[in-house]
Structure 1
Amino acid sequence: MSSSASRPPSRRPSRRLLLAGALAAVAGTVTGCSADSAASASGGAKRLRIGYFAFPSGDLIVKNGRLLEQALPDHEITWIKFDSGAGVNQAFIGGSLDIAALGSSPFARGISGSSPIPYKVAWILDVAGRNEALVARKDTGVTEVAGLKGRKVATPFASTSHYSLLAALEAAGLKASDVKLIDLQPQAILAAWQRGDIDAAYVWLPTLDELRAAGTELTSSKEIGAAGKPTLDLAVVSDELISKDPKAIDAWRKVQAEALRQLKSDPDGSVRAVAAELGISAADAQAQLSQGVFLTPQEVTSADWLGSDGRPGKLLTYVTDTARFLAGQKQIDVAPAEDVVRKAFYLEGLPDVLD
């Protein structure tokens, strides 16, 4: 999805092109997937392909501690790293993932249109805070969002950062067309920043901290969320997994809940796990974790957030509003109705399966 050229955000590839891209993009990573399916069908080990981000969250604690492998010893589990939600969506279209981390904005995109991606949200990993932000280069002299008019601003398109950038521009009285939007993945953003090719960027950790060191933070997802447009890192499961192996989803939810508890009860252990997964110092891992908002399992399944079996929480409204905003910004053609969004929630067994 990354590109060094500016293009209007409303010019989106078709679902067919996305599918073609997905098959090419994930071919190397998930080689043997058809063999995996055959093994499951013939009574061999069950397989789980899990997409994750190199981003501080309970996901990294689960991965580092091999919690899911311990919970599902009869499954062969493969962790696949992605750079953004756009890549995750492509992989689900290609049938190459069973479970994955996914931002609320790309999820809203995924369930929109006449051919929604066959997945459902099943968990909340974190709520975006200061771990996603908009930063301008100091040499631009820009100190507020309105000052970006006419400037080159980079963000990974179809991500939560992209959504928050559009919201920030709107709040500042600017249209997306008032700036030169550039679609870049985090590492490409850093390289473009260092070359002086862009004036500002909206991105997440750890790239964000490197921009902050030589830039001016204009706003963050914490402020944008407080103003009514929150973004979250969700976890989604494929419809096929729901149909064929729902107990694996229950086990996965349990270890995710365990990771959220560890973030509260064992901060030092959490820091060590995240540092090991990201290849950074404990001090840097602690600083990055402190910028996110991590719910307790009880909060995740409360009416304020994901909700419980038969009773979707406020996340339903957040995702519906996100889709409406994206439609208003011409990012998607039509926003799904709330009842369509509701069908994209997998809440079976919550919160009882966490016990």
Structure 2
Amino acid sequence: MTLSTFTRRAALGAIGSLAASAALAQGNTPRTVRLGYQKSSTLIAVLRLQGTLEQRLAPLGATLSWHEFTSGLPLLEALNLDNLDFSADVADTVPVFAQAAGAQLTFVAQEAPSPTAQAILVRSDSPLKSVSELKGKRVGFAKAAGAHYLLLAALEKAGLSFSDIEPAYLTPADGRAAFERGAIDAWVVWDPFLSAAQKQAGARVLADGTGLASYQRYYLASTRFAQARPDVLGVIYTELEKTGRWVKQNPKEAAALLAPFWGLDAGIVEQANGRRSYAVRPVTPQNITEQQKIADDFLAEKLLPRRVNATDVALFKPQV
């Protein structure tokens, strides 16, 4: 991506902002923010429990509606279909699948890498000791999730390809059930499901993302909404950044707040939160460039329907 291309995009963004201002003046600006999240959307969960976003958005004449999803792919599918305005954090793999489906995405924020917050698990009594032993085995994971890319990267390092395993596309809840009853040989999953499986089911880590997948999580909006309500996105960005710092500085208090909401023991939540960076930062062109390798790796395994240009997205610029 050349500087001139980003300059053109910046100009288009400015035009979009002018259009948004015109919409504001005409009273056509969206008033209800349809916000999608998943169980691993920690910072959004804290904000919801504390009622912070409702309080901060009220002076802007905006209200919130909350929509829970099982994983990142259906969340961004809803964003693409204009059934959502804003998506809480999804793994870095998910946007490339949404782009392949033609989604018009605006990247609002990114969490710094958290490679140990996802892992390939086996049961405590499993004979498997290395990733190379997954050949011919049935492995469960959520399609397009960060876990999916971790599996690809781990298999490649072990000298295997995706075709060497038997994939089982499972939601986290279905994956846990299949894992415990032995219907799958390994399970690739992220926190807090990872910590729950370790503490409750004695799961053993075969490999985590260290040196394989950085596991950066992104917050996104539909480009239509980003152009219409940059004021709302600015508030959300600011509160995410503050909440990320609070969770890391107050691990026990944060775990106590989230535990009943997630239906998990506070110790599990604290362990899971300890693996996530929660360092919210603006998305830069360099960040998006890293997405290209993910997209190309999925395409090479014939798991992506077409090649995508990972940089062909809009970037929200918060006032920081």
TM-score interval for Structure 1 and Structure 2 normalised by the shorter chain: 0.7 to 0.9
The one of 228, 240, 264 aligned to 1:244: 228
For the Cα contact (< 8 Å) 2:30–2:229, is it kept in 1? no
Q: Is the counterpart of residue 61 in structure 1 residue 28 in structure 2?
A: no
- 1:56 deviation in Å? 5.8
Name the CA distance, whole Å, in 2 between partners of 1:59 and 1:280: 17
The answer for the alignment partner of 1:163 in structure 2 is 149
Change (3 A) 1:251 1:148: same
Change (3 A) 1:240 1:141: same
Per the alignment, in what secondary structure is the counterpart of residue 111 of structure 1? Answer: helix
Which consecutive unaligned segments of at least 5 residues does structure 2 have?
A: 1-25
For the Cα contact (< 8 Å) 1:49–1:96, is it kept in 2? yes
For the Cα contact (< 8 Å) 2:223–2:314, is it kept in 1? no
Q: Is the counterpart of residue 336 in structure 1 residue 305 in structure 2?
A: no
Which consecutive unaligned segments of at least 5 residues does structure 1 have?
A: 1-40
Matches within 5 A, 1:81-96: 81-96=68-83
Matches within 5 A, 1:1-355: 46-55=31-40, 57-73=42-58, 74-100=61-87, 101-112=89-100, 116-125=102-111, 127-212=113-198, 213-225=201-213, 230-295=214-279, 297=280, 300-301=281-282, 306-307=283-284, 312=285, 314-337=286-309, 341-348=310-317, 350=318, 353-354=319-320
**AA partner of residue 258 (structure 1):** K
For the Cα contact (< 8 Å) 1:45–1:76, is it kept in 2? no
For the Cα contact (< 8 Å) 1:143–1:216, is it kept in 2? no
How many residues are matched? 290
Change (3 A) 1:140 1:281: closer
TM-score, scaled to structure 2: 0.84
CA RMSD of aligned residues (A): 2.1
Determine which structure has the larger helix proportion and give its number: 2
Name the CA distance, whole Å, in 1 between partners of 2:253 and 2:134: 41
**AA partner of residue 202 (structure 2):** A
For the Cα contact (< 8 Å) 2:72–2:145, is it kept in 1? yes
- 1:54 deviation in Å? 1.1
For the Cα contact (< 8 Å) 2:123–2:202, is it kept in 1? yes
Percent identity over paired residues: 22
**AA partner of residue 76 (structure 1):** T
CA distances 1:314-340 after superposition (whole Å, capped 9, x unpaired): 312211111111111111133333xxx
Change (3 A) 1:43 1:150: closer
TM-score, scaled to structure 1: 0.76
- 1:237 deviation in Å? 0.5
Name the CA distance, whole Å, in 1 between partners of 2:248 and 2:194: 24
For the Cα contact (< 8 Å) 2:195–2:268, is it kept in 1? no
Change (3 A) 1:232 1:245: same
**AA partner of residue 77 (structure 1):** L
Per the alignment, in what secondary structure is the counterpart of residue 157 of structure 1? Answer: coil
Change (3 A) 1:43 1:158: closer
Change (3 A) 1:126 1:51: farther
